Amino acid sequence: WMVEATHEVRECGSNPCASLPCLNTATCLFTSETNFTCVCSPHYTGSLCEVRIDPCVVNPCVLGTTCEPLQQGGFTCTCLPGHDCLHTHNEFAIPEFSGDSYLEARKLENVGRAFALEIWFMSKAENGLLLYNGQLTTGRGDFIAVNIVNRHVQFRFNLGSGIANLTTPERIQLGVWHMVRASRLDKDGVLQLNNGSVVRGMSGPPLNELNLELPLYIGSVPNFTETSRDSGVAFGLIGAIQRLIVNGQSWTGLGMQGSRVGRYQGPPCPPSANPCLNRGVCLSSLNTFSCKCVDGFYGEQCQLSAASEKPVRFNGDTFLEYAFNLISGKRQRNRRRTRFEVSVRSEEANGLLFWLKRGKNPLGNYVAVAISDGYPELNLKLGRHIPLLTVRSKVQVNDGEWHTLLIERWKRGGQIQVDDKVPDKVQAEFGKTMLNTNAQLWIGGAPTLPGGLPSAYYLNYNGCLQRLLVDKVPVNLLQLNTSLPTDLCDSV
């Protein structure tokens, strides 16, 4: 037979892609008998796609947060200790949108190379706009858009050379609060609804920088003709937005211009059935709530009165015993978290506040909290051959004034916080993540302690103590009927 024409035909062995030189699932493109080009998969770069892209290299997060790459791609901005980045105790009204209402804010800043968005929203309709920011009023140019389309969440952006279009496989439930995360590094985008599947996509080459000049619109836009036809923006949101976080900074309260925006008054904090008692403020957190109590009340729902609980005096000779599993109200044998919250007043430099341990084995795991040299200290034993893990607060408390201590242990880490100061943290690289808490909790001292502890731990606490909560459950010290200290302190 006779060959009349050929295309991309060559001798076997002359293709440089035959040896699979491109790494990390990249595609090899033949350019000549000796040359090739690697088309990298998302999150990799280099001539052979051998270098993993660090999304944090462009410093996308705001001051007070730190950038952390995600294993599945993209990044998240985590608030540093001592910075109220997320305004967890938000008391602002939650905006409600009716389909033609919107909020207008300044354009998104510092998002040219990368950004991370997090939106907490509730929709009553299958379609609606969550967020849009464009470049030109003609609808041309760069843009980003987050939409609800047939109950799927859709994330689109254009850097000037073709759009990226990412859609979640999961659908939202109408009338239920959801969280969506969308992030971008150059041309690569990542999208995730709640804790569902991670979706990735890319915008068209070669441009990789986002340029925005117009205001940011939330819930809808004043004129749909000014949006990009590629954005998918077609309907305004009928629902509410609880929180917007951009590069780790919360825009909670959404203090911006609005048009026909109402005030959301539904779950989890309906004004007609406020779950927080005694004038406490209900704070929404997706589908759950927390309470910010007024002075004089505390507890998960501000149900406890500080005035009705007298501070108990420990004189250095007394201590209390309580079954920890009864305090926690949970029968599970192991827990990864332990939380103490208590108010203390003392002038003594040393003394044991809490000792939590199961059994009499001196080599067993434990949680201990003491005042050492005037500073509160957390001491953890997480394994038989693991060194003691200790963290001490930088705030001195033996000044005769009342101080609130918050002590938390999680898996292999822990922290201690005094009043509203910055917490001090510690983390172990290895050791057990669960501590058997079907155990005894000793308060103000303990009958026996293992060797090797700091000297302050062998002294009983001498001072006043009140408002003890263990795993957020209040413990009434006056109701303990064993070794009950009868001496009370004044609460002033």
Q: Give the SS3 label for residue 391.
A: strand
The average pLDDT across 177-188 equals: 94
pLDDT category at 429 given cuts 50, 70, 90 is: low
d(CA 51, CA 250): 32
The average pLDDT across 148-163 equals: 96
CATH of domain 16-52: 2.10.25.10
More confident residue, 70 or 243: 243
Q: Give the SS3 label for residue 91.
A: coil
The pLDDT of residue 325 is 55
Residue 294 near residue 302, CB atoms below 8 Å:
yes
Q: Which phi and psi (to 5°) does residue 434 adopt?
A: -120, 140
Amino acid symbol at 479? Q
To which H or E segment does residue 327 belong? helix 324-328
Among 462, 455, 458, smallest CA distance to 487 is for 462
pLDDT at 437 over 50: no
pLDDT category at 163 given cuts 50, 70, 90 is: very high
Six-digit token string for 423: 């917490």
Amino acid symbol at 410? W
pTM: 0.56
> Each residue of 210-219: b (16+ CB within 10 Å) or e?
bebebbbbbb
The pLDDT of residue 253 is 45
Domain with CATH 2.10.25.10 in the chain: 16-52, 271-306
CA atoms within 13 A on the CB side of 160: 11
**Which architecture characterizes domain 271-306 according to CATH?**
Ribbon (2.10)
Q: What is the DSSP string of 273-324?
A: G-SS-TTPEEEEETTEEEEEPPTTEESTTS-EEGGGSPPEEEESS--EEEEH
**Which architecture characterizes domain 95-263 according to CATH?**
Sandwich (2.60)
The pLDDT of residue 435 is 55
To which H or E segment does residue 176 belong? none
The pLDDT of residue 238 is 97
The pLDDT of residue 306 is 66
E-only strand ranges, 23-176: 27-30, 36-39, 44-45, 51-52, 65-69, 75-79, 95-98, 102-105, 114-123, 128-134, 143-149, 152-158, 163-171
* Candidate ranges 78-82, 88-92, 259-263, 335-339; pick with highest mean pLDDT: 259-263
Average pLDDT, the chain: 81
pLDDT at 143 over 90: yes
The pLDDT of residue 196 is 93
Lowest mean pLDDT among 419-423, 476-480, 483-487: 483-487
The pLDDT of residue 334 is 44
pLDDT at 83 over 60: no
Cis peptide before 268 (omega within 30 of 0): yes
Residue 247 near residue 115, CB atoms below 8 Å:
yes
The pLDDT of residue 319 is 84
Among 205, 210, 298, 219, smallest CA distance to 258 is for 219
pLDDT at 71 over 80: no
Q: What is the pLDDT of residues 391-428, one digit of tens each?
A: 999 999 999 999 999 998 876 788 899 988 888 888 77
Q: What is the pLDDT of residues 277-303, one digit of tens each?
A: 888 888 888 999 888 887 777 778 888
Among 444, 463, 475, smallest CA distance to 318 is for 444
Fold of 309-479: Jelly Rolls (2.60.120)
The pLDDT of residue 89 is 37
Domain with CATH 2.60.120.200 in the chain: 95-263, 309-479
> Each residue of 74-91: b (16+ CB within 10 Å) or e?
bbbbebeeeeebbbeebe
The average pLDDT across 468-489 equals: 69
Lowest mean pLDDT among 172-186, 315-329, 357-371: 315-329
The average pLDDT across 436-451 equals: 77
More confident residue, 340 or 92: 340
pLDDT category at 440 given cuts 50, 70, 90 is: confident
* DSSP 8-state symbol, 456: G
E-only strand ranges, 397-475: 403-410, 413-418, 424-427, 435-436, 440-443, 462-470, 473-475
More confident residue, 221 or 328: 221
The average pLDDT across 22-47 equals: 82
The pLDDT of residue 91 is 46
More confident residue, 480 or 434: 480
Give the list of residues 6+ apart from residue 52 with CB closer than 8 angstroms, or none: 24, 43, 44
pLDDT category at 254 given cuts 50, 70, 90 is: very low
The pLDDT of residue 447 is 85
The pLDDT of residue 333 is 38
pLDDT at 252 over 80: no
Q: What is the pLDDT of residues 186-234, one digit of tens each?
A: 899 999 999 899 999 999 999 989 999 999 999 999 999 999 999 999 9
